[in-house]
């Protein structure tokens, strides 16, 4: 179809797969070929396809309340989800804004951080700091915050470039902290927010240590910088705790969520504010001039409630920790010549690839490995230097064995 414009593509660009069906971790294309999907769609199908608990909840809600706006009304699904998120994020007394995507959740967080600084008596603190190898979404403001997209953004898209500052990410934790300290010493009066991924997904599943996050938080508190955790990819159980921040000792002021929150079935984003920030906005009408038609859609909220209930009732997160560790150990034990490192937290796993001489794989080479795995029946993701695994949180031990065997088929013959 030459008139369909897909993300990060051009009108009419061909797709590598045309999908027809999805059940559990298995997806089927239009040729009836089956694949084991260990990318979880786009990291979001947390319970796999055709999951009865989620689809049943959606169907029941559709028959009762197919749509309701949050502009001037409310509904149980949104209110219950807001309370559930405050409880799971351990942010009592906070507030939740429900939107539609990870990008909108991040965009909301950035806007609220800037407005908060103004209403807290610090109107000059408007700049946003992010990592040079971060990804925060595809909408305009979110894309400008993400360091990885800067080379791809045309000069005409550089809206308010003076609003953003970038520092080295935590591949080298000491260098990253030194850069942040120097920036805040020089420009702290202008910096209002720092946005971070607790685990850097698109950069290759980089997992900073607890000591790194402890120092970063001290710097933010010292300079009155709002700390935003972009948990769009890492949150809702992907890393074995509801928030990856909880496993890493990170205590953000604002959390952005999406993707696996409702198992990826319907558009949903959430921005969660800690109590001190929420207090600044209470009583103001409007608190911030923002809103979209589908924000807090009851179907998306209902799917999220069903997803989180299933995860809790079946102790899914304990399995995430066990399975993630088993996968990383199995990959390390196989000692592939082409694997430089295996990183991850929970079921968020990065495999860095290298040539025999030690040179890191390029993006194009990583894409070719991903394509070869697809031809062998395994769907994964790629980054600049390797491939990543984001299987459904419910992946079975048998499916893990299948995934490892399919990886083996390709990784063993790269050289």
Sheet containing strand 378-379, edge to edge, reads: 19-23, 26-29, 34-37, 378-379
Q: Are residues 295 and 160 in the same domain?
A: yes
pLDDT band at residue 2 under the 50/70/90 scheme = confident
pTM exceeding 0.85? yes
How far apart CA 16 and CA 371 sit, in angstroms, is 9
How far apart CA 172 and CA 132 sit, in angstroms, is 12
Reply yes or no on whether the pLDDT at 295 is more than 80. yes
Q: Are residues 151 and 75 in the same domain?
A: yes
Reply yes or no on whether the pLDDT at 60 is more than 90. yes
How far apart CA 118 and CA 114 sit, in angstroms, is 7
pLDDT for residue 158? 64
Does residue 399 sit within a domain?
Answer: yes
Give the end of a domain, one of 298, 313, 328: 313
Q: What is the DSSP string of 66-79?
A: S---SSS---HHHH
Does residue 11 sit within a domain?
Answer: no
Q: Are residues 29 and 126 in the same domain?
A: no
Query: Which domain does 404 fall in, by range?
Result: 19-50+315-411
pLDDT for residue 159? 63
Give me the CATH number covering residue 394.
Answer: 3.90.1150.10
Question: 280 with 116: CB under 8 angstroms?
Answer: yes
Does residue 23 sit within a domain?
Answer: yes
Which of 154, 158, 110, 157 is closest to 130 using CA atoms? 110
Give the end of a domain, one of 313, 334, 363: 313
Cβ neighbours of 82 (radius 10 Å): 20
Question: 164 with 183: CB under 8 angstroms?
Answer: no
How far apart CA 394 and CA 389 sit, in angstroms, is 14
Q: Are residues 307 and 332 in the same domain?
A: no
How far apart CA 384 and CA 51 sit, in angstroms, is 33
Each residue's pLDDT tens digit, 130-172: 999 999 999 988 988 998 888 777 666 666 667 899 999 999 9
324-353 mean pLDDT: 97
Please give the torsion angle defined by the CA atoms of residues 204, 139, 79 and 47, in that order, rounded to the nearest 10 degrees: -40
Residue 289: burial class (beta carbons within 10 Å; 0-12, 13-18, 19+):
exposed
Number of domains in the chain: 2
Q: Are residues 249 and 140 in the same domain?
A: yes
Q: Are residues 266 and 377 in the same domain?
A: no
pLDDT for residue 174? 98
Each residue's pLDDT tens digit, 275-293: 999 999 998 777 889 999 9
Peptide bond into 286 cis (omega under 30): yes
The two beta strands, 269-273 and 95-99, are antiparallel
Does residue 225 sit within a domain?
Answer: yes
Coil, helix or strand at residue 248: helix
The two beta strands, 127-131 and 95-99, are unpaired
User: Which tokens in the block code for residue 230?
Assistant: 């972009």
Reply yes or no on whether the pLDDT at 67 is more than 70. yes
How far apart CA 389 and CA 204 sit, in angstroms, is 10
Give the end of a domain, one of 295, 313, 331: 313
Does residue 6 sit within a domain?
Answer: no
Half-sphere exposure of 367 (CA within 13 A, CB side): 4
pLDDT for residue 144? 87
Q: Give the H/E segment covering residue 194.
A: strand 191-196
Which of 352, 334, 338 is closest to 389 using CA atoms? 352
Does residue 4 sit within a domain?
Answer: no
User: Which tokens in the block code for residue 308?
Assistant: 């989180």
Which residues, other chains included, contact 45 with Cβ-Cβ below 8 Å and sequence gap of 6+? 22, 37, 260, 263, 264, 392
Question: 113 with 122: CB under 8 angstroms?
Answer: no
User: Which tokens in the block code for residue 282?
Assistant: 């209470």
Each residue's pLDDT tens digit, 189-230: 999 999 999 999 999 999 999 999 999 999 999 999 999 999
């Amino acid at each position: 179809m030459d008139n369909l414009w897909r993300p990060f593509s051009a009108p009419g660009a061909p797709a590598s797969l045309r999908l027809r069906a999805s059940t559990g971790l298995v997806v089927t294309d239009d040729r009836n070929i089956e694949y084991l999907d260990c990318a979880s769609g786009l990291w979001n199908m947390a319970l796999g396809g055709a999951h009865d608990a989620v689809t049943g909840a959606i169907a029941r809600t559709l028959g009762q309340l197919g749509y309701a706006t949050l502009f001037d009304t409310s509904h149980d699904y949104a209110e219950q989800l807001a309370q559930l998120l405050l409880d799971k994020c351990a942010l009592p007394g906070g507030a939740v804004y429900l939107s539609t995507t990870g990008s909108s959740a991040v965009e909301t967080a950035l806007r609220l951080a800037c407005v908060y600084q103004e209403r807290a008596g610090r109107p000059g603190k408007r700049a946003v700091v992010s990592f040079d190898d971060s990804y925060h979404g595809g909408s305009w403001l979110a894309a400008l915050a993400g360091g990885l997209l800067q080379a791809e953004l045309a000069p005409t898209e550089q809206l308010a470039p003076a609003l953003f500052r970038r520092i080295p990410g935590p591949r080298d934790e000491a260098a990253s902290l030194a850069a942040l300290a120097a920036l805040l010493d020089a420009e702290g009066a202008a910096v209002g927010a720092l946005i971070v991924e607790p685990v850097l997904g698109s950069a290759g599943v980089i997992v900073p240590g607890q000591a790194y996050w402890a120092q970063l938080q001290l710097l933010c508190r010292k300079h009155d910088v709002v700390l935003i955790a972009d948990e769009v990819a890492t949150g809702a159980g992907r890393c074995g705790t509801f928030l990856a921040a909880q496993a890493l000792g990170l205590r953000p002021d604002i959390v952005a969520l999406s993707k696996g929150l409702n198992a990826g079935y319907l558009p949903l984003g959430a921005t969660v504010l800690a109590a001190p920030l929420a207090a600044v906005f209470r009583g103001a009408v409007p608190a911030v001039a923002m809103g979209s038609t589908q924000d807090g859609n009851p179907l998306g909220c209902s799917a999220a409630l069903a997803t989180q209930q299933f995860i809790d009732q079946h102790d899914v997160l304990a399995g995430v920790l066990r399975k993630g560790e088993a996968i990383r150990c199995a990959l390390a034990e196989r000692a592939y010549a082409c694997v430089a490192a295996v990183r991850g937290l929970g079921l968020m796993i990065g495999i860095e690839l290298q040539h025999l001489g030690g040179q890191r794989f390029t993006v194009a080479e990583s894409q070719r490995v991903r394509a070869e795995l697809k031809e062998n029946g395994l769907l994964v993701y790629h980054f600049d230097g390797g491939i990543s695994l984001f299987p459904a949180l419910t992946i079975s031990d048998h499916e893990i064995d299948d995934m490892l065997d399919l990886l083996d088929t390709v990784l063993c013959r790269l050289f």
